[in-house]
Amino acid sequence: MDWRVVYMGGVFISLFLFVMLISKRQKSTADKILSTWLFFAVIHQALIGWYASNKMSDMPALIGWELPFPFLHGPFLYLYILFLTGQQRQGWRSILHFVPAVLVAIILAPVLGSMSVPEKLGAIAPVRFEALFQWMVRGIIVSGVVYVVLSLVLLRRHKQNVAVQFSNTDKITLNWLRYLIGGMGVIWVVVIFFESAQSLYVVVALFIFFIGYFGIRQVGIFSNPPPAHEVYLPAVVQAPEAEVVADVADVADKKVKYEKTGLTEAEASRIHTALTTLMRTQECYKDSELTLGDLAKTLEIHPAILSQVINSKEEKSFYDYINTLRVEAFKQLLLKPDSQQYTLLSLAFECGFNSKTSFNRNFKKITQLSPSSYVKEMNISVQTGE
């Protein structure tokens, strides 16, 4: 097999994804970061294809300029996840992540300018700069490992935020982020443990194919997402600003439990009662895409306050609270005679679950039984198929 086809395929896929992103309407900051990343990926892949085609001697001035690019991929991965998951604080600091790549480029400018063509082509060992290039390779490895670890930390925080704000997680970007981080991790494993340049080129090209395939399948990455529900940055949900406290009546009698928001026990009870009434009368939990922000908007309170009330009064996260209501609704629905003609999954969808996996996982977590085992134990006649 001619692996040059794979390398050049990576170039065209990167270019295709880049064009898809820049043509996307209403681009977020995360979209702009990803499109910039893909732009540099196109250049990097082109250099790889150029090397693989043994065309270095045609333009020797470009030899060596592939070294700064690996210092870009880690920061782009980290910043993309940071902004996609809403965990950014001060945007101007983001530029500091690219300092190593810029420093490498500045150092390389005089070094590559002083090297002869035979040295660049490897016909003569570049003894003068051998130590420098070795340190750069070590720096590339350190950069890759550090940013993969940092990205995993962001993913972990995002998972916690998802439980705070979302009632269903199957369609959240967790899998997309796992694919990105996992793919980058594989690349750095190849860099560290395999000395073959061909192996690295192949795995980079395959990674581009990989993110292209899953990125196009993931709603909202390369296309415009459907109308969004109310979602807030993690910092907003976890720590409301001081002026938000003024939205809550009578905050003079503060309790330690609610000292972050200045919420009194009486006011927390009132909000909890209003929430319970809302759930009973409007059955909001049946909306499979329900978010904490949706409920907060309906109740006309700050999402951080609502989250705190749910945590303290229900002793659950928003995610567990809503899915507990869905499980209870499902159990009640099972008792109706008309339900016998439907499958367990169709009844689960009626109660707000959006996938079989989510339904089975949450039902077993709450009841300690699988749905089919529960039906058998309760001696309920219902279709158990999908």
Q: Residues 331-342: pLDDT tens digits?
A: 999 888 887 788
Please give the residue that has the higher pLDDT: either 11 or 358. 358
Burial 312-336 (b: 16+ CB within 10 A, else e): ebbeebbbbbbbbbbbebbbebbee
CATH architecture of 234-377: Orthogonal Bundle (1.10)
Q: pLDDT-based confidence at 276, cuts 50/70/90?
A: very high
Least confident of 79-83, 217-221, 348-352, 367-371: 217-221
Please give the residue that has the higher pLDDT: either 121 or 159. 159
For tokens 């101007």, the residue is: 92
CA 49 to chain centre: 30
pLDDT computed for residue 322 by the predictor: 94
pLDDT computed for residue 44 by the predictor: 84
pLDDT computed for residue 283 by the predictor: 93
Q: pLDDT-based confidence at 126, cuts 50/70/90?
A: low
Q: pLDDT-based confidence at 16, cuts 50/70/90?
A: confident
Supply 332's token pair. 């009640």
- pLDDT of 37 > 60? The answer is yes
pLDDT computed for residue 383 by the predictor: 62
Q: pLDDT-based confidence at 250, cuts 50/70/90?
A: very low
Task: Name the CA radius of gyration of the chain, rounded.
Answer: 27
pLDDT computed for residue 262 by the predictor: 66
pLDDT computed for residue 252 by the predictor: 35
pLDDT computed for residue 255 by the predictor: 40
User: Which residues contact residue 78 at a Cβ distance below 8 angstroms, ignoring those fewer than 6 apart?
Assistant: 97, 147, 150, 151, 154
Q: Taking phi first (over 0 means left), then psi (-120 to 50 degrees means alpha), and beta for anything else, what does residue 191 get?
A: alpha
| Residues 279-300: tens digit of each pLDDT | 999 999 999 888 888 899 899 9
Mean pLDDT along residues 302-306: 88
Mean pLDDT along residues 93-97: 87
Least confident of 118-132, 137-151, 279-293: 118-132
Mean pLDDT along residues 131-135: 86
Please give the residue that has the higher pLDDT: either 35 or 222. 35
Answer yes or no: are the C-beta atoms of 244 and 302 closer than 8 Å: yes
* HEC assignment per residue over the chain: CCCHHHHHHHHHHHHHHHHHHHCCCCCCHHHHHHHHHHHHHHHHHHHHHHHHCCCHHHCHHHCCCCCCCHHHHHHHHHHHHHHHCCCCCCHHHHHHHHHHHHHHHHHHHHHHHHCCHHHHHCCCCCHHHHHHHHHHHHHHHHHHHHHHHHHHHHHHHHHHHHHHHECCCCCCCHHHHHHHHHHHHHHHHHHHHCCCHHHHHHHHHHHHHHHHHHHHHCCCCCCCCCCCCCCCCHHHHHCCCHHHHCCCCCCCCCCHHHCCCCCCHHHHHHHHHHHHHHHHHHCHHHCCCCEHHHHHHHHCCCHHHHHHHHHHHHCCCHHHHHHHHHHHHHHHHHCCHHHHHCEHHHHHHHCCCCCHHHHHHHHHHHHCCCHHHHHHHCCCCCECCC
| Residues 187-199: tens digit of each pLDDT | 888 877 776 666 7
- pLDDT of 92 > 50? The answer is yes
Mean pLDDT along residues 168-184: 75
Supply 181's token pair. 């981080």
Q: pLDDT-based confidence at 241, cuts 50/70/90?
A: very low
- Domain residue limits, the chain: 4-217, 234-377
pLDDT computed for residue 254 by the predictor: 38
Question: What residues form DSSP beta bridges with 343?
Answer: 383
Mean pLDDT along residues 353-373: 90
Q: pLDDT-based confidence at 273, cuts 50/70/90?
A: very high
What are the CB-based long-range contacts (under 8 Å, 24+) for 121-128? 121/56, 121/57, 121/60, 121/63
Q: pLDDT-based confidence at 260, cuts 50/70/90?
A: low
What integer best gives the mean pLDDT of the chain? 79
pTM over 0.95: no
